[in-house]
Amino acid sequence: MGATQKALARGIPVCVVPYGRDQLEVARRVEVARCGTRLPAKKLSPSRLRTNVREAMTMTDGAQRVAAGFKATGGTRRGADLFEHRLLGLDVGRPQQSG
């Protein structure tokens, strides 16, 4: 679990400065969900960072909504269980039969 997800899971809004890989997509989703702000790395400056952090701090409603969504899905443990069951070809929620 990355820093952005950890903060959002606790209902804390974020200011994301993506540098590459999945960070670009995560930053876009944060912006769309209105649970924080996105500041492109190429535009990073102390003044812009300060402005974006202050704006993000006003987005607690969005961050709390995301946290509630994370909680409703069962969290990372549930996600890992679903992944493992899918990978192993098991039916989720059905007891395994010994044979």
pLDDT digits (tens, 9 = 90+) for 54-88: 999 999 999 999 999 989 988 778 888 888 888 88
Q: Is 15 helix (H, G, I), strand (E, B) or coil?
A: strand
pLDDT at residue 98, rounded to an integer: 55
Q: For each of the domains in the chain, give its residue range(s) and CATH number, in order of start.
A: 3-88 (3.40.50.2000)
Q: What pTM was estimated for this model as a whole? A: 0.74
Structure tokens at 98: 């010994």
pLDDT at residue 9, rounded to an integer: 93
Q: Are 62 and 34 in contact (CB under 8 A)?
A: yes
pLDDT digits (tens, 9 = 90+) for 25-42: 999 999 999 999 999 999
Amino acid code (one letter) for 28: R
